[in-house]
Structure 1
Amino acid sequence: MVSHLTVAAEPRFMPGASLQSRLLGLGLRHTVRPVIGAWARLPFEISPPNLVDTVARLLPLHEGTRWRTVHLTDCSAEWLRAKGVDESTDTGAMVYFHGGAFMTCGLNTHRRLVSRISFSAKRPVLNVGYRQMPLEPILTSIRDGVDAFAWLIDQGYRSDQITIAGDSAGGYLAFSVARAVMDQGWGRPAGIVAISPLLDFDDTRKRAHPNAHTCQTFPLHAITRLSKVARQHDTRRGVDGQRTCPVDMPLADMPPTLIHIGSREVLMADAELMANRLTSAGVPCELQVWDRQVHVFQAAASFVPEARAAIEEIGTFVRHLAQHPYQVAAPAGSVRKPSRNTAEAVPV
């Protein structure tokens, strides 16, 4: 495989696209992609009601999944364990941020995916229903993520036992929350898992990328429209200029990272850039490029065999973190107990 971007770490290409995955891609290209494209061309701003999360309540769960509602300071979450997973603080935990362009999806849409990740990683997972646009700007979503991390520490988990994961917009949150908790002096998380992550709201690199028009889920102009909407919400809430995209954050002290991306995704540009910058900063990063897979194909694990294989890769990565923790010397006394006043961690 030839990478589209010169990266310090060679991407790991995961070959093969099953009939199921190709059918999924074809279906998305002729249903979801046109709808998103139409939204992006509307001459006025509209945020669709989050009906998809309501309907997702009807979806069956991975066998043996257990969860309970957790009330964080300003949003809800759920403490989820797959079959055979206990809550021992000896093994660690995960926190998960769903995707949905910061405007849609939620706990219901991602419960099945989170359950499968819990089962593969052998970890309980805090699935976070963070606040979203249009009611709140992205910085508020990050604040809710920091609060979720603090909740896990309150349960007895150390920062270096907590893996932060997310897909699409949730990948943006995974890096942003990791940066915020480290800047607070709470310690370094165990690792980051980013699935088809949106990491850069500047569309310049996406426009120049070979994948600019090959994505089966998102047309490029939809990413451009999302960036404009996010800036408008920042301006309305008086936080314009206070949000830094993950690709532009200080990265040298970041934890080990696993990034999954489909080979035709428009967000390939973001994944390659982040892998390049992390590795150049000396941070272990594995970029897995999945042959012809769609955006967050892992959510289709009941149908697509490559999705099940990808979730196994995530589980292996998380379990490996516990067996071989990444050590970087921290200044004496630099790790302190979290304060539940998460406003300190995010400049809102």
Structure 2
Amino acid sequence: MGHELNVDIRPEYPVSWQAAAINGVLRGTMKPISTILVRNTAGMAVASRIMCLGERVPGILPKHVSIVPDRFGSCTGEWVHGGPGLDEGKVVLYFHGGAYFVCSPATHRPITWRLSAAAGRPVFSLDYRQGPVHSLAESLSDALQAYECLLGLGYAAQDIVLAGDSAGGHLTLATLLALRDRGMPLPTAGLCLSPWTDLSSSRRRANIWSDPMLPAGRVEWLARRWTDGLDCFDPLVSPVYGDYTGIPPLMIVTGSTEVLRDEARRVAVSARENGVQVTYEEWNRMPHIFPLLADVLPEGRLFFDHVSRFLDAVHDHTSASGVEAA
């Protein structure tokens, strides 16, 4: 029996003690640090340097996981294999988060290796250009070029999944919309973790106190910075305003206390109104991009079982559509 694809899911797992502890730590560290640093270019540079130092600390990966840096064309990144027996004819193109100015493929390996295992295929984690030196348009250009490079390497569009978290979730949606508008063959699905979808002047009112990690004021400051001189209601700038007609199935995941929750939910509702099959998951009291903490967070590990079920449902849906078309 196939899994339901167009569905709202609110996992009923008891909140673990690890999640409660992590929320407390984030509230006492990440949130105030972000409030202090994300105010000007100098503060952003300090935050970026701190993250770069973190990248130099070698992460502990299981022995069955392999990381291989690669470049094809002007696209740079790393291939992540989450174990043996993967389908090398399929791939996940992953866009890491970091508000478009911090983080890298290296910081997001706790997600990408597990995503590779859950999807049964390698992940190419793209090292796209970021601010403050580069613009949103340049980040999107890198994402589109990486997708075209994968097609050029022989991957069929239906064998590619796009995925990303936070700013990378924004980039996932913008890439899907841009590919559709250009008449390009579309990937089989899109997966967005805690996506940042509204860079307009709309003020955030949900979860501004309950989010343990993101200060709403700093998110809005970054949005103003990245959209300076742009139409912030352009769907490629704020995907929450997009028309998703013709977009492949989406999985959109957020935490119930996230300041970005409502804009993620708005994309899910809008996409469904445009005829898209959407699996929307809202995890109780989970922090922003909680699967990134899967090394220590049980809910973060459970999430990847949900990814497997979603991709199974996409496969069933695609197979059924192919039979009907025949």
TM-score by length of 2: 0.89
Distance 1:254 1:304 in 2: 32
Partner of 1:256: 249
In the TM superposition, what whole-angstrom CA distance separates every residue of 1:129-188 from its partner, at most 9, and x where no partner exists? 100001100111111111111121122211121110000000000111112222222212
Shift of 1:205: 5.5
Greater mean alpha carbon deviation, residues 182-191 or residues 29-38: 182-191
1:150-229 counterparts in 2 under 5 A? 150-202=148-200, 204=202, 206-207=204-205, 209=206, 211-229=207-225
1:137-148 alignment runs, 5 A limit: 137-148=135-146
Q: 1:205 to 1:269 in 2, by over 3 A?
A: farther
Give the distance between the partners of 1:300 and 1:257, measured in 2 at CA. Answer: 23
Structure 1 303/46 Cα, relative in aligned 2: closer, same or farther at 3 Å?
closer
Q: Give the SS at the match of 1:279.
A: helix
Within 5 Å, which residues of 2 pair with 1:54-69?
Answer: 54-57=53-56, 58-69=58-69
Q: Which residue of 2 aligns with 1:13?
A: 10
Select between 222-231 and 161-170 the one with higher mean Cα deviation.
Answer: 222-231
Is residue 2:128 matched to residue 1:136? no
**What is residue 3 of structure 2 aligned with on the other side?**
none
For residues 166-224 of structure 1, give each alpha carbon's deviation from its aligned partner in whole angstroms, at most 9, with x where no partner exists. 000000001111122222222121001000110111252522x3x23211111110111
Q: Counterpart of 1:206 in 2: which secondary structure?
A: coil
The answer to whether the Cα contact below 8 Å between 1:56 and 1:108 also exists between their aligned partners in 2 is yes
Match of 1:309 in 2: 302
Aligned residue for 2:251, secondary structure, equals strand
- What is the aligned counterpart of 1:324 among 301, 317, 326? 317
Q: 1:106 maps to which residue?
A: 104
For 1:24 and 1:129, how far apart are their aligned partners in 2? 28
Runs (5+) with no aligned partner, structure 1:
1-8, 330-348
Task: Give the superposition deviation at 1:54.
Answer: 4.3
CA shift digits 1:281-308 (9 cap, x unpaired):
1111011110101001101111111111
In structure 1, C-alpha distance between the alignment counterparts of 2:158 and 2:134, rounded to whole Å = 30
1:231 to 227, 238, 241: 227
Q: How far 1:94 sits from its partner (Å)?
A: 0.7
The CA distance in 2 between the partners of 1:240 and 1:62, in whole Å, is 45
Q: How far, CA to CA, are the matches of 1:46 and 1:67 in structure 2?
A: 28
Q: Which residue of 2 aligns with 1:272?
A: 265
- Matched AA of 2:22: L
After superposition, the Cα gap between the structure-2 partners of 1:47 and 1:279, relative to the gap in structure 1 and judged at 3 Å, is same
Aligned residues with identical type, % of pairs: 27
User: Counterpart of 2:10 in 1: which secondary structure?
Assistant: strand
Q: In the alignment, what sits opposite 1:86? A: 86
Deviation at 1:259, TM superposition (A): 0.8
TM-aligned CA distance change 1:109 to 1:291, over 3 Å? same
Structure 1 residue 121 displacement after superposition: 1.2
Aligned residue-pair number: 312
Partner Cα separation in structure 2 for residue 217 and residue 30 of structure 1: 9
* C-alpha contact (below 8 Å) 1:126/1:148 kept by paired residues: no
Q: Which structure 2 segments of 5+ residues have no match?
A: 1-5
